[in-house]
């Protein structure tokens, strides 16, 4: 057994807990979230505290950090006001544009314009999607979870999905090579999803047969 070192989270600062978590839970999918404010102005920001939690109902979760002064970010405020948001998947070709949208611009600045991105109106919700994204999930607000003073959790129900025509087949299997998604690592690190392998889950009978064969 290799040596390990333990950390009592009750004794760690929030920043130290954050560093351990983002370095351990990797790679994390990135939700490039588009919303609209009450004046109809679009906003886009990437979040890597994100995942799909359920298919029935179809629920995704976002962890949106508050600003240093405790104020909500534009994304959280817009979701509360409009009741919706869209998750755009970040492909490798869009990494630089996504990074522009991570710049802490003031609310009146259109980061999508600065990033050179075009939008397409939503089909089922008021929030638009990024035209160049290989996939997008239109979401209706399900609920907010208040978990503390640093971050709020948003649950959204997916009500409409968009995928590039060449990314999905008639059986609704999505081609990861076409998505070419990137994930978030610790610190400033990112990971591509081009190095993949298949590993089918074994049935109990298959596992038993393999074990019996190895013991023979």
pLDDT value of residue 214: 72
Within-domain flag for 211: yes
Within-domain flag for 3: no
Within-domain flag for 54: yes
Where helices occur in the chain by DSSP H, the ranges are 14-24, 74-82, 95-101, 111-114, 176-179, 204-215
Within-domain flag for 210: yes
Give the chain's mean pLDDT. Answer: 94
Query: What is the extent of the structural domain holding 32?
Result: 9-215
The CATH number for 194's domain is: 2.30.110.10
Is residue 127's pLDDT more than 90?
yes
Model confidence pLDDT, tens digit, residues 162-211: 999 999 999 999 999 999 999 999 999 999 999 999 999 999 999 999 88
Spatial contact of 134 and 148, defined as CB atoms under 8 Å apart = no
Q: In this structure, what token pair is assigned to residue 118?
A: 């075009």
Within-domain flag for 1: no
Domain count, the chain: 1
Within-domain flag for 69: yes
Within-domain flag for 4: no
Model confidence pLDDT, tens digit, residues 101-124: 999 888 778 899 999 999 999 999
């Amino acid at each position: 057994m290799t040596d390990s070192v333990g950390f009592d989270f009750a004794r760690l600062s929030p920043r130290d807990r954050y560093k351990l978590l983002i370095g351990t839970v990797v790679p994390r999918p990135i939700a490039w979230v588009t919303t609209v404010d009450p004046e109809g102005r679009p906003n886009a920001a990437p979040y890597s505290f994100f995942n799909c939690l359920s298919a029935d109902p179809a629920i995704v979760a976002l962890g949106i950090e508050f600003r240093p002064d405790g104020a909500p970010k534009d994304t959280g405020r817009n979701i509360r006001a409009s009741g919706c948001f869209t998750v755009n998947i970040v492909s490798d070709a869009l990494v630089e544009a996504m990074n522009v949208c991570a710049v802490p611009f003031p609310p009146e600045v259109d980061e999508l314009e600065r990033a050179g991105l075009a939008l397409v109106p939503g089909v089922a919700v008021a929030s638009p999607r990024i035209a160049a994204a290989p996939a997008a999930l239109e979401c209706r607000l399900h609920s907010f979870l208040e978990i503390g003073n640093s971050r709020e959790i948003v649950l959204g129900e997916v009500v409409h999905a968009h995928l590039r025509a060449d990314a999905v087949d008639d059986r609704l299997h999505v081609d990861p090579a076409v998505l070419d998604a990137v994930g978030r690592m610790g610190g400033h690190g990112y990971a591509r999803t081009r190095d993949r392998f298949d590993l089918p889950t074994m049935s109990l009978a298959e596992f038993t047969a393999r074990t019996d064969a190895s013991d023979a």
